[in-house]
């Protein structure tokens, strides 16, 4: 999935149209630029989809600095770690511009992924994309010169 690919949004939208219960599973919220979208506690128990706008995911380092993990646009999922179990990282999300976020509680997302193959496939696509981005960043850090990394 490309960063601005809306295939996941289309999958969610199609499922919501086909099944009223699926549509009712989403909580749609709007955020102003600079507003906190979610904190670690909520990130650990929900799945999020950026319907419009841009969101930045970050963690706070022990010395209080912000470590940016990703900048996400329309069609991007986050919080999918919550579906895999285990401990959720201390990740925050903030709106970089006005945005609309679709949120689904973890348990409902798990149940939906077991019933709807396309939903599960969309999640796999999103996680695969995130993994590829992380691998590319690691490769750049390992093989790029310092000046190239800072540019």
Rounded distance between C-alpha atoms, residue 96 and residue 43, angstroms: 18
Q: Quote the mean pLDDT of the chain.
A: 81
Q: How far apart are CA 65 and CA 48, in angstroms?
A: 24
Burial grade of 117 (CB within 10 A; 0-12, 13-18, 19 or more) = exposed
β-partners of residue 46 are 105
pLDDT at 59: 92
Per-residue pLDDT tens digits for 70-96: 899 988 888 887 777 755 668 999 999
Confidence band (pLDDT; 50, 70, 90) for 35? very high
The structure's pTM equals: 0.76
Taken in order of first residue, the domains within the chain and their CATH numbers are: 7-150 (2.60.120.10)
């Amino acid at each position: 999935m490309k960063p601005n690919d809306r295939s996941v949004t289309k999958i969610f939208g199609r499922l919501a149209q086909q099944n009223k219960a699926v549509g009712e599973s989403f909580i749609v919220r709007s955020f102003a630029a600079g507003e906190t979208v979610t904190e670690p506690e909520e990130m650990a128990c929900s799945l999020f989809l950026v319907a419009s706008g841009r969101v930045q995911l970050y963690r706070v380092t022990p010395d209080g600095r912000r470590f940016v993990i990703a900048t996400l646009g329309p069609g991007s999922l986050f919080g999918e770690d919550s579906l895999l179990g285990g401990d959720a990282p201390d990740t925050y999300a903030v709106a970089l511009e006005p945005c609309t976020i679709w949120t689904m509680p973890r348990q409902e997302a798990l149940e939906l992924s077991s019933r709807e193959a396309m939903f599960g496939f969309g999640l796999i696509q999103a996680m695969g994309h995130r993994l590829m981005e992380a691998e590319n960043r690691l490769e750049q850090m390992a093989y790029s010169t310092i000046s190239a990394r800072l540019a």
